[in-house]
């Protein structure tokens, strides 16, 4: 029986343990994908550091791989494109059940509680290979894979699944941007930079990016930010709010996007949004517990506040398509690459904010 390796989470703050697994026998409709590259997400770091994270687990929910086996005659990806063995595909972190109340009546399949989760759930029974840090991933029939166009690079396809698909979904939630909007992005990590790119593509006139460290803010300028605000230099929330209001003729931004995951970011971002504006919360993927918010600022500004979680294959397809037209400094976006044996080092590097985007690269 053929086998593969995977770095496995075995406990909070412990080195990932390199283990071997048998490659599974596929059922009709399933796929086996040989991984090429997987993003090291901030969520991976949060799970690795969190004593409440269930183990064992194989991280990796931002993935590009090659189809090596298709079972049961499946011929199409999740958006109707023809697929065959040997094709490169990109896929995210979950496969919704499609039949529960959340998927059907609520119409919110990205938060389906019955979904098969890749890279974010414990591996307690076969087939085990449910995270992109592994050399191979087993995909159920409902997995939302999208074929990568022949002209697209693996790195650009990965960029589509790192943040950009999530922002396409988020902008759909808020009804999109208006041409000429002023946007504030809270956060300069991969999600924040995706928010910057998608705001540009959606017609924003001015985009202010708040974050750190300097290397990320420098890259944000290169990617089209009109203004950057360093939280290392402008340390107090009141001062950052003042800077944003000063830059917007004291009105506040038309749209503010919380992409930082910071525990105090929401209260601050609400106060940066103009009267009648939109506040999109997309970076809060970790439950930090209750945080103080003054509801007066919601009512007084008559704000529209939205939460958005993950994305669907159509959002991934659109993100991959619209990124193709942009000239991007890919070597400055994907800055750190680690082999499977150095997965723990990759988590540590991302945790220290030394990377823009770090990846596990399978060779």
Mean pLDDT taken over the chain: 96
pLDDT class of 74 with cuts at 50, 70, 90: confident
The 10s digit of each residue's pLDDT in 189-208 is 999 999 999 999 999 999 99
List beta partners, residue 8. 17
pLDDT-above-90 percentage for the chain: 92
Angle CA 63–65–68, to nearest 5: 145
Q: Residue 238: how many CB atoms within 10 A of its CB? A: 10
Model confidence, pTM: 0.94
Is a pLDDT exceeding 80 seen at residue 73? no
pLDDT class of 147 with cuts at 50, 70, 90: very high
- Nearest-Å Rg of the Cα atoms of the chain is 20
How far is residue 6 from each of residues 10, 141, 342, 358, 360, measured CA to CA in Å?
12, 22, 11, 17, 11
Whole-number pLDDT of residue 323 = 93
pLDDT class of 358 with cuts at 50, 70, 90: very high
Whole-number pLDDT of residue 100 = 97
Whole-number pLDDT of residue 1 = 59
The 10s digit of each residue's pLDDT in 233-261 is 999 999 999 999 999 999 999 999 999 98
Whole-number pLDDT of residue 201 = 95
Dihedral pair phi/psi, residue 345, rounded to 5°: -60, -40
Q: Residue 233: how many CB atoms within 10 A of its CB? A: 11
Find the length of the chain. 363
d(CA 20, CA 305): 46
- Identify which of 185, 176, 177, 202 has the alpha carbon closest to the alpha carbon of residue 282: 185
d(CA 83, CA 75): 5
Whole-number pLDDT of residue 288 = 75
Query: Domains plus CATH for the chain?
Result: 3-152+324-361 (3.90.180.10), 163-307 (3.40.50.720)
Which H/E stretch holds residue 192?
helix 190-201
Q: What 3 state SS string does 88-156 have? A: EEEECCEECCCCCCCCCCCCCHHHCCCCEECCCCCCCCCCCCCCCCCCEEEECCCCCCEECCCCCCHHH
d(CA 95, CA 107): 15
The residues near 249 (Cβ < 8 Å, ≥ 6 apart) are: none
Is a pLDDT exceeding 80 seen at residue 298? yes
The 10s digit of each residue's pLDDT in 103-122 is 999 999 999 999 999 999 99
- Tell me the mean pLDDT in the region 319-346: 95
Whole-number pLDDT of residue 233 = 98
Is a pLDDT exceeding 90 seen at residue 299? yes
């Amino acid at each position: 029986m053929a086998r593969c390796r995977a770095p496995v989470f075995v406990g909070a703050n412990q080195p990932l343990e390199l283990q071997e697994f048998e490659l599974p026998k596929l059922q009709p409709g399933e796929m086996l994908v040989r991984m090429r590259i997987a993003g090291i997400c901030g969520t991976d770091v949060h799970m690795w550091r969190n004593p409440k994270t269930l183990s064992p687990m194989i991280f990796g929910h931002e993935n590009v791989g090659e189809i090596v086996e298709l079972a049961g005659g499946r011929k199409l990806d999740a958006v109707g494109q023809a697929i065959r063995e040997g094709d490169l595909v990109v896929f995210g972190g979950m496969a919704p059940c499609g039949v529960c109340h959340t998927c059907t009546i609520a119409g919110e399949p990205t938060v389906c509680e019955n979904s098969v989760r890749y890279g974010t759930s414990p591996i307690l029974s076969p087939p085990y290979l449910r995270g992109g840090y592994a050399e191979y991933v087993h995909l159920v029939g409902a997995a939302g894979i999208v074929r990568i166009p022949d002209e697209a690079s693996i790195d650009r396809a990965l960029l589509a699944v790192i943040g950009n698909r999530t922002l396409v979904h988020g902008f759909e939630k808020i009804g999109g941007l208006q041409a000429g909007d002023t946007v504030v992005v809270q956060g300069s990590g991969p999600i924040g930079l995706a928010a910057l790119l998608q705001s540009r593509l959606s017609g924003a006139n001015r985009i202010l990016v708040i974050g750190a460290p300097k290397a990320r803010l420098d890259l944000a300028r290169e990617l089209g930010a009109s203004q950057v605000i360093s939280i290392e230099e402008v340390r107090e929330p009141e001062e950052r709010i003042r800077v944003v209001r000063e830059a917007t003729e004291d009105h506040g931004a038309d749209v503010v996007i919380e992409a930082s995951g910071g525990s105090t970011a929401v209260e601050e971002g609400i106060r940066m949004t103009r009267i009648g504006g939109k506040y999109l919360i997309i970076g809060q993927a970790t439950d930090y517990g209750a945080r103080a918010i003054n509801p007066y600022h919601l009512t007084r500004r008559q704000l529209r506040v939205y939460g958005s979680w993950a994305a669907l294959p159509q959002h991934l397809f659109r993100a991959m398509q619209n990124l193709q037209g942009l000239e991007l400094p890919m070597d400055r976006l994907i800055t750190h690459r680690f082999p499977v044996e150095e997965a723990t080092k990759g988590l540590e590097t991302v945790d220290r904010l030394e990377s823009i985007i770090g990846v596990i690269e399978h060779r």
